[in-house]
Amino acid sequence: MEIFLAGTPNVGKSVIFSKLTGIGVISANYPGTTVEFSEGEVKFGQMTIDVVDLPGTYSLSGNSDEERVATNLLFHRRPDSVVLVADATRLERSLVLAFELIESGYNVVVALNMYDLAVKSGLKIDISALEESLMTSVVPTVAVRGEGVDSLLREAIRLRPKSAFRVRYDSHTEEIISELVSMMETSEWDFPIRAVAVRILMGDRAVREKAGRQITEAADSLAMDFERRHQESIESHIQRDRFGEAGRIAAEIISPIDSAERGRKTVSDITLNPITGIPILVAVLATVFLILVFGGGFIETLLVDSYEGVAEGFFDDAKSGASPLVQGVLDGVYISIEAMLAIVIPYILVFYLILSVLEDTGYLVRVVSLLDGIMHRMGLHGRAVIPMVVGYGCNIPALLATRTMGSKRERIILAVLITIAIPCSAQTAIIIGALGNYSGAEWALLIFAILILLLGLLGFALHKTIRFEASQLLLEVPELRRPTLSQTLRKTGIRIGEFLTIAFPLLLVGSIILEVMMAEGILQRLVDPAEPFMTGVLGLPAVAVIALVFGILRKEMALQMLIVLFGTSDLSVALDAQQMFVFALVMAIFMPCIAALAVLVREFGVKDAAAITAASIALALTFGAVANLVL
Amino acid sequence: MAKTTDIANVLEVAPASVTQMLHKLCRQGYVKHEPYRGTILSRRGRRIARRIARKHRLLERFLSDMIGIEPEDGHDQACRMEHALSNEAEEALCKMMNHPATCPNGKRIPKCERGIPCEDCTRKALKLSDVDEGRTATISHLVSKDKDELCRTLAMGLVPGATVTVEKKMPLGGPIIVNLKGTRVAIARSIGDALRMVEAA
C-alpha cells in the first residue's frame, strides 16, 4: 500500500512524514524546502505502508522543475491514497489543490494541519461540514507535536468510495470540457476523463503528451476561441472558479465570520521594510560572522586542548616500540580525530545551528524579498538567496535547491556562483579556523569580501554573456515563527550526522594513507614535481599540493591534511600569514568536492559540470597567484 | 419599420394599447410614426434602445459565464434586470468581464457611449505597481502572454476577483509585497504588471 503526502509549500508535509516514518527530513519555514521526494515505511498492524513526502506544489499542472517532481510522481505512480496536508489557518489555498486531486480521481484524505494555530487565532472550523462538502475524511492535526497523526494514518488506509465532489466551471468552459471528453476514450486513461480534459486545457505537459496531437490541437483551438470571445484565457476562468468555490466552502465552514477579516490583517513587519530591513540584514550577517569566528574558535580551543590532554599520552604509549608502519597508522588516527574536533565540531556545528534558526524563523524569505532587486542584476531572482545561504553550509543541498529557480539557465548561473564564489562550511572552516585564528580576523574578512565581490562580478558577467530573461519572483512570505529548541537540535543533528558518516571514514583512511606514505618516504617523490608551481607561483610549501588534492575528496580535508602534513594543529608554525591567506583563498574558490561534483553531473550533465570545475580551478589558481604577487 | 400588429404580437397585448402607447412615445419624441407604413425609433429612441440592449447582453454574458446560468433562463432574467441596472453598474460589469464583444447567443454588444476605444478603457485598469502602498485593489483580469507564468500566478490565488492589499514595494525594482487573504506574497514587478487591478472605491 502506498500513501503520498501532498500539499502547498510550507504546510508541514515533511514534519508529518517524519512523525509517521521516524525518518529525519529537513524542514524549514520557507516554501520549497523539499525539492526531492523522500520515501519511508510505516508499520500498521500487519501492513507495511510506503509513505512518500512530495515537494510542495500549488497546482497539479505546475511546470517548474520543483513542481514537476511532485506532479510526475502523482501522474506515474497512482498511490492508493493521497493525504492532502492543508494549512488550517489558510484553508482556501489548500482547498484548491484538494479540488484538483479529487477531480483527478485520487483517494484524498485531508489533514487539517496547524489546527492549534487556527484555534488559537479564534477560528472555528466545522470539520464535519468540510467533510460533507468535500465528500471525504478530514483529520485535524498538529504535526509538530504529533497530534492526530495516528488517526490520519488510519483514515488514509481505510477503504472508502472516492469523493464525487467536482468543481463546476462556468458554462462555456463546461461546454468545452464535454466536447473534449466526447473525443477521448475512457479506457485509455487511469484518470477520470473530465480531469484529463481540464488538465489539457490547463497546459499540463505530462497529460498533453499522453493525449496526443489530435486532442491537444482540438483543445488549443477551443481555448483560442474561448479567449477570442471572452478576451480572457480559459486557464484564468478555471482557476477563478476553483478559488471561488474554495472561498465559498471556507466561508461556510469557518466561523466567526469576522475572523475572515481578522485573518486578512498581517502584523507589520520591520524585517520587510527596506529602511529597517537592510540594517537588520547587515546586523544579522555580522552576528553570524562573529559567532562563527569567536564561538567556533572558543569551542575549538576547548576541544583540542582537552583532547590533546587526554589522548596524547594514550597514543604515545601505544606508539612506543611499534613498527614505523603501525606508528604511521596510529598518527593518522590521532590526527584525524583532532582534525575533526578542530574543524567539524566547532565551525560546521555552529554554522548549522545558525542556519537552522534562520530557516525556522522564516527570516530567509525576508532576505529573498529584500534582495530580489539586486539579484536581478545578476540574472537571478530573489529566491536564489536561499540556495546561496544553504550553500554556505554545504554545496550539495544548495545545488539541489537550485531547482526552485525557473529556468535551466538560471540554475546554471546559480550553480556556478555556488560552487565558485560561495564557500561551504568546510571552506569557511579553513578561512576562519585557520586564517582567522592564526593570522587575524581581518584576513578572514578580506577573503569574504573578495568572495562577495567575485560573486557579484561573476553573476553580472554571466548575466551579460548568457542572455535571457530571468524568471520572476512569486513567493509566499511565511509569518515569522519562534524556532523551537528541539527542532533546531534535531535538524543540526541530522546534518552533522550525515556529515560525520560521510566525512570521517574518508578522513580517517586519507590520513592513514598519508601517514604511511610519509613514513615510507613516498610522499616526497610525489610532491617534488609540483614544487615549481606551488612555491614559485603560489608561494606555498610544496606539500600543500597534497592538501589541495585531498580537498577534492572533501573540502575540510584540505585543512586537516595540512594539520596531518605538518604534524600539528597549530598551523602558524608552518605557514606565515600571507601563505595562509593564499592557501585559504585558493581553497575557497577551488573546484567542488567529489560529492558536489557528482550532484553537478547529475543535475546539469557532464559537459556543464566539467566546465564549472575547470573554471573554478583556473579562477582559484589565478586568484592565488595574484594574491601571492600582491602580498 | 415595425407594424403595430407585429409589436402587439410580440408583447402579447391588444393592438389598441400599442397604438395608444406609440402615440405617447411619438409625442415625447422617442419614435416616428408614418400612417400605413409603421413606426420607427427616433434618434433619441435608438440611443435608449442601444443602452438597454447593451445592458441586456452584458447581463446575459454575466449570467452565463460567471455563474453558469443556462442561456434561455439567462435571457428571461436579463429581460427583467436590464431595466434595474444602473449605468455605473453597466460600466463596471463591462470592465469586469473585460469588454465582451458578443452576448452568449452571438449578438453584438453595442459599445458604450463614453467615446473612448475599449483598449484605452482596459489600459485604464491599474497595474499592481500603480496601486499605492496601503491601498486595497481587486484583480480584474490578467494579461500575461507566458502560459507557464500565467498558470503559476493563478495557482498562487491571484485570480480575477481576488482582493489584495499592497503592503510594501521593495526598492531597486524589487518585488511588491501584498496581502492576499491573510497570506503575504512577494510578487515580482513584471508579474505585477500582468495583473490588472481595480481599486476599491
Which three-class secondary structure string do you get for A65-115? HHHHHHHHHHHHHCCCEEEEEEEHHHHHHHHHHHHHHHHCCCCEEEEEECH
Q: Are strands A108-113 and A138-140 parallel, antiparallel or unpaired?
A: parallel
Same domain, A371 and A290: yes
At A82-121, the pLDDT tens digits run 999 999 888 888 999 999 999 998 999 999 998 988 888 8
Instruction: Show which of residues 470-529 on chain A sit within 8 Å of chain B, judged by CB atoms.
Output: 471-479
- B28 min Cα distance to partner chain A (Å): 38
Q: What is the CATH number of the domain that holds B25?
A: 1.10.10.10
DSSP state of A629: H
**Residue A108, all three cell numbers:** 484524498
pLDDT of residue A65: 67
Map grid coordinates 513587519 to a residue: A269
Give the nearest partner residue to B157 out of A93, A171, A372, using CB atoms.
Answer: A93
In whole angstroms, give the CA distance from residue A336 to residue A557: 9
User: Which chain A residue's Cα is nearest to B152?
Assistant: A62
Same domain, A315 and A218: no
Same domain, A188 and A299: no
Q: What is the CATH number of the domain that holds B187?
A: 2.30.30.90
Same domain, A510 and A364: yes
Note whether B186 contacts A473, CB cutoff 8 Å: yes
SS3 A211: helix
Identify the H or E element spanning A159.
none
Note whether B154 contacts A236, CB cutoff 8 Å: yes
Judging contacts by C-beta atoms under 8 Å, the chain A residues touching residue B66 are 170
| Last residue in a domain, options A209, A241, A264 | A264
A630, A555, A545, A565: which is closest to A591 by C-alpha?
Answer: A555
Same domain, A260 and A281: no
In whole angstroms, give the CA distance from residue A515 to residue A528: 17
Same domain, A124 and A26: yes
pLDDT by 10s per residue, chain B, length 201: 888 888 888 888 888 888 888 888 888 888 888 877 788 888 888 888 888 999 999 999 888 877 777 778 888 898 889 888 888 788 888 877 777 888 877 788 888 776 666 666 655 678 888 888 888 888 888 887 778 888 888 888 898 888 888 988 888 778 898 988 888 898 988 888 888 888 765
User: Which chain A residue's Cα is nearest to B143?
Assistant: A232
Q: Which of the residues B98, B148, B191 would you substitute to probe the A interface, choosing the one with the greatest number of A C-beta atoms within 10 Å?
A: B148
Instruction: Give the least confident one: A218-227, A282-291, A491-500.
Output: A491-500
A538 lies in which domain range? 275-470+494-630
Q: Give buried/exposed letters for B76-102 (b at 16+ CB in 10 A, else e).
A: eebeebbeebeeeebeebbbbbbbbee
* Phi, psi torsion values for A65, nearest 5 degrees: -55, -45
pLDDT band at A305 (very low <50, low <70, confident <90, very high): confident
- Please give the residue that has the higher pLDDT: either A499 or A485: A485
| A96 in contact with chain B, both atoms CB, cutoff 8 A | yes
pLDDT band at A217 (very low <50, low <70, confident <90, very high): very high
- Please give the residue that has the higher pLDDT: either B165 or A408: B165
Judging contacts by C-beta atoms under 8 Å, the chain A residues touching residue B176 are none
Instruction: Show which of residues 206-265 on chain A sit within 8 Å of chain B, judged by CB atoms.
Output: 229-233, 235-237, 239-240, 243-244, 263-265
Same domain, A228 and A96: no
For all residues of chain A together, what is the average pLDDT?
A: 81
Residue A463 lies in a domain: yes
Same domain, A185 and A226: yes
Mean pLDDT of A438-455: 86
| A59 in contact with chain B, both atoms CB, cutoff 8 A | yes
Residue A486 lies in a domain: no
Note whether A171 contacts B191, CB cutoff 8 Å: no
pLDDT of residue B173: 79
In whole angstroms, give the CA distance from residue A445 to residue A630: 17
Residue A139 lies in a domain: yes
* Phi, psi torsion values for A458, nearest 5 degrees: -60, -45
- Please give the residue that has the higher pLDDT: either A404 or A307: A307
pLDDT of residue A4: 92
Terminal CA-to-CA distance of chain A, rounded, Å?
Answer: 65
Of the ranges A402-416, A460-474, A612-626, B186-200, the best mean pLDDT one: A612-626
Residue A456 lies in a domain: yes
Q: What is the CATH number of the domain that holds A190?
A: 1.10.287
- B54 min Cα distance to partner chain A (Å): 16
Note whether A239 contacts B99, CB cutoff 8 Å: no
CA A257 to each of CA A242, A250, A252, A284: distance values in angstroms, whole numbers, following the listed order: 21, 10, 9, 40
Instruction: Show which of residues 377-436 on chain A sit within 8 Å of chain B, judged by CB atoms.
Output: 381-382
Same domain, B191 and B136: yes
Residue A135, Ramachandran bin (φ over 0: left; ψ between -120 and 50: alpha; else beta): left
Please say whether the beta carbons of A515 and A564 come within 8 A. yes
pLDDT of residue A473: 78
- A206 min Cα distance to partner chain B (Å): 14
Note whether B155 contacts A239, CB cutoff 8 Å: yes
| Last residue in a domain, options A234, A264, A294 | A264
Whether A232 has a pLDDT exceeding 60, the answer reads: yes
B16 lies in which domain range? 4-41
User: Strands of B176-180's sheet, edge to edge?
Assistant: A474-477, B183-187, B176-180, B163-169, B136-142, B195-199, B126-127
DSSP secondary structure of A459-470: HHHHHHHS--PP
Instruction: Show which of residues 325-384 on chain A sit within 8 Å of chain B, judged by CB atoms.
Output: 365, 368-374, 376, 381-382
Judging contacts by C-beta atoms under 8 Å, the chain A residues touching residue B165 are 264
Mean pLDDT of A127-146: 90
pLDDT of residue A260: 47
**Residue A216, all three cell numbers:** 491537444
Single-letter amino acid, residue B110: P
Same domain, A92 and A175: no
Whether A339 has a pLDDT exceeding 80, the answer reads: no
Single-letter amino acid, residue A200: I
pLDDT of residue B74: 85
Give the nearest partner residue to B182 out of A59, A90, A229, using CB atoms.
Answer: A90
pLDDT of residue A343: 65
Whether A266 has a pLDDT exceeding 60, the answer reads: no
Whether A137 has a pLDDT exceeding 60, the answer reads: yes
Whether A200 has a pLDDT exceeding 80, the answer reads: yes
Residue A270 lies in a domain: no
- B91 min Cα distance to partner chain A (Å): 16
Whether A15 has a pLDDT exceeding 70, the answer reads: yes
Same domain, B49 and B116: yes
Q: How far out from the chain centre does Cα B164 lie? A: 22
Please say whether the beta carbons of A339 and A416 come within 8 A. no
* Phi, psi torsion values for A380, nearest 5 degrees: -125, 165
Same domain, A213 and A298: no
Same domain, A330 and A457: yes
- Please give the residue that has the higher pLDDT: either A329 or A19: A19
Same domain, B139 and B165: yes
Number of domains composing chain B: 3
DSSP secondary structure of A588-602: HHSPPPHHHHHHHHH
Show the beta-strand stretches assigned E in chain B.
31-34, 38-41, 126-127, 136-142, 163-169, 176-180, 183-187, 195-199
In whole angstroms, give the CA distance from residue A468 to residue A157: 48
In whole angstroms, give the CA distance from residue A304 to residue A290: 20
Map grid coordinates 486557464 to a residue: A235
In whole angstroms, give the CA distance from residue A25 to residue A43: 19
Residue A478 lies in a domain: no
Residue A66 lies in a domain: yes
Judging contacts by C-beta atoms under 8 Å, the chain B residues touching residue A89 are 182
Same domain, B148 and B163: yes
Same domain, B137 and B150: yes
Number of domains composing chain A: 3
Same domain, B95 and B137: no
Residue A118 lies in a domain: yes
DSSP secondary structure of A2-65: EEEEE-STTSSHHHHHHHHH-------SSTT---S-EEEEEEETTEEEEEEEPPP-S-TT--SH
**Residue A89, all three cell numbers:** 489557518
- B86 min Cα distance to partner chain A (Å): 23
